[in-house]
Amino acid sequence: MRDHWALVNRALTKHYIISIAMEGPLAHRQFRRLFAAQVAALIGTGLLTFALSLLLHDLSGENVTLVLGRVLALKMIAYVVVAPIATVFLRFAPRRQVLVWLDIVRAVSVLCLPWVNEVWQVYLVIVVLNTSAAAFKPLFQATVAHVLTDEADYTRALSLTRLSYDLENLVSPALSVLLLLVVSYPILFVTNGVLFLLSAVLVLGTTLPGVPRDNHGSEASQSMRFMQGLSIYLLTPRLQSLLALNLSVAATGAMVLVNSIALVQSQLGRGEGGLALVMMCLGVGSMITAFFLPSLLRYWPEGALMRIGVGLSSSALLAGTLLPLELPTVGALWFIVGLGNSAVQTAGSRLLRRSALPQQWPDVFAAHFSLSHACWLVFYPLAGWLYWLSPTSAFLGLGVIGLGGLIISLGLWRSYHEHPITHEHPAMAHAHDGGHDGVHQPRDSTLVGTSRTTVHSHAALRHSHRIIIDAHHPRWPRRSSYNS
């Protein structure tokens, strides 16, 4: 028996430590620095979330869920509006300098929070802070996709990135409690500002690649790049399904992020330690999924794992309507929510990368960023309002919405969408930048001016391959075209 467990231990050590740390993305110097910068920023953001809840509890009392819901909705408005605009204007900007300056703006903004004494002042700071974050995050995600060109490394990087996000819910609450033993919560804002500055220093020392400029669909102006990414997103069945699953994640996640402080401190009568404990349970569940997901994806498709995760999260909220709400119960339910939601948030980036050409990744990532955060924009204030009615209303309403998103996703994305599709291309002439893949070579072409744009013609063609929405496939083929 002892030998058996020794073999298991060696196998786990070899797979997760050697494979990920030594041979995986952390062996890539640029990603290693970016990952360290992200960890620093996210630990700080976790401190901010914890301290902001306490600040708003002091400023608004029993109405904390309503006010916190509004604050988080303002955050999502910044994300939804700013992300696509920033992607257009920062597309070819020097990435390192842009990321550094955005970190500095975030640091300055959060350092203003210890001095506020009115709710409207919090609203103002949150808008500035999250406008910077909305520009930072999709640019950072697209940068990682370009830094790691190997599919296996990128998959492991997604898992590591998911783990870093989970530090908000695991390390940050624990660190918050330790700091609050000796200082008051405004110091958490100062610590967050310092960590943003540390992130800026780490990014400053990183060499980042440029963005490929040979984009298909050059007839669109730069102001239309986001619309191009949005079109790819909404015309791809697997991404339609991903959006439905993100709706479920937003519903169940908003329940946790908006209502935990009122549930733990007001209803259960627990202090800051109780709040930190339930948020750590959320982080532990999320980290477990992120840790094992790369191995599970070898045997299970992304769609199945994401739907199982959403089913778990939604069921946990529905169970909250039946179980007695004590601190251990809430911790267990939040653990299940973290376990389930992490599956969607980790595996979803694989779908984005697989559903577009490399030069279109920034546009598709920005479209996903805006659409998924639009879901949070709806559910943050809804979660606060439902809890204001009653805790049972919040658990029941958001749990039912989560299951609804799961049902929608089942109808949008089927396994056959991943199969090669037999389809016909009529004879056509069009123009776009860059080259062609092996199955869409032009019959003739003419260079336009001094750019890489070519006007060219294609002969009629019938062939079969997996589909990506692009200049040659502006819409998804009908079901009757799929190979058996």
Paired strand residues for 455: 431, 446
Mark residue 148 as left, alpha or beta (left: phi above 0; alpha: psi -120 to 50; beta: remaining). Answer: beta
Q: What percent of the chain has pLDDT over 70?
A: 70
Domain membership of residue 3 (yes or no) is: no
Domain span at 88: 24-210+222-417
Q: How far is CA 186 from CA 37, 183, 278, in A?
A: 23, 8, 22
Residue 316: pLDDT band by 50, 70, 90 thresholds?
Answer: very high
Note the pLDDT tens digit of each residue in 20-44: 444 577 778 888 888 888 888 888 8
| Model pLDDT, residue 398 | 96
Domain membership of residue 29 (yes or no) is: yes
Give me the CATH number covering residue 243: 1.20.1250.20
Residue 173: pLDDT band by 50, 70, 90 thresholds?
Answer: low
Domain membership of residue 215 (yes or no) is: no
Domain membership of residue 299 (yes or no) is: yes
Domain membership of residue 166 (yes or no) is: yes
Domain count, the chain: 1
Percent helix, strand and coil across the chain, each rounded to 5? 75, 5, 20
310 pLDDT above the threshold of 80: yes
Note the pLDDT tens digit of each residue in 55-86: 888 888 778 888 888 888 888 888 777 766 77
What's the CA gap between 37 and 444, in Å, rounded? Answer: 48
Question: Residue 65 in contact with residue 388, Cβ under 8 Å?
Answer: yes
Domain membership of residue 10 (yes or no) is: no
Domain membership of residue 333 (yes or no) is: yes
Domain membership of residue 217 (yes or no) is: no
